[in-house]
Structure 1
Amino acid sequence: MKYFVMDILACPVCKSTNLYLHVIEEVEEDTSIPVEKVKCKRWCHYKNKNASEVPLEVCRECARKRIKTGVIVCRDCGRWYPIIDTIAVMLDDEYRDEKIYKRFLEEYLDKIPANVRGMMKIPPVGSNP
């Protein structure tokens, strides 16, 4: 998953495209993707600003990044989705394996800033969502 993919994602629960990306760990890779094809149309999640304000040089840098670990949060419903080993686990409630989410929180909650945690609907430990 690269930063530019955020332009096409939607929350599986409420269908909102108002998503927030927090990157915990990223890796670089070689890529020959034409930057003009991956430039974000509305919002640059890499620089967290309007895409029209981001020069192509920044897009080239972004296209080389792969998010290894992070979290995507829906700003509308508070549902959050972990990114684990470069894969965004974005499943509707009926398909979620809560053990994956609990393990993610145990390992990474302290690496997620308070403002991002405040957007996330996190059930109390030991509860069944």
Structure 2
Amino acid sequence: MASTGESGITFDENYRIRVLDTDKYESTKEMQGQTEAFVNRISELSDVVKKYMELIDQQAERIEMEKLRAVGMRNKVATMEEERKRKEKDLKALTAEKQEELERLNIEYESLVKAKNEQELLIGKLSSSSVE
């Protein structure tokens, strides 16, 4: 390697002009390679982090959907329970109404049976008095 004195300009084995001496140039090249490798690793890490963030976002969306579905199901169950109670109340009211109607019809039936018996008795008396 040739040197031009104290100016720091040198020539390498391929006769190219170098501002740095060979040792510094080699260490700079090595550092540049390490830096490129580091940048590549950081880039890969960034890609992996981006993928994980996407997965986390997707999972968060699924969780939110499940939360909404659970709230919807809870509301549906509450609505069904209220509907069941309302139907039970309506059926009890209908049962009471039908029970009252049955009692009224039984009283009417008994009244008609009594009237029929009285009429048959009267017919029997009238028949027996006309036969005599």
**TM-score, normalisation: structure 2:** 0.14
Greater helix content: 2
* Structure with higher RCO (Cα < 8 A, 6+ apart): 1
Greater strand content: 1
Bigger Cα Rg: 2
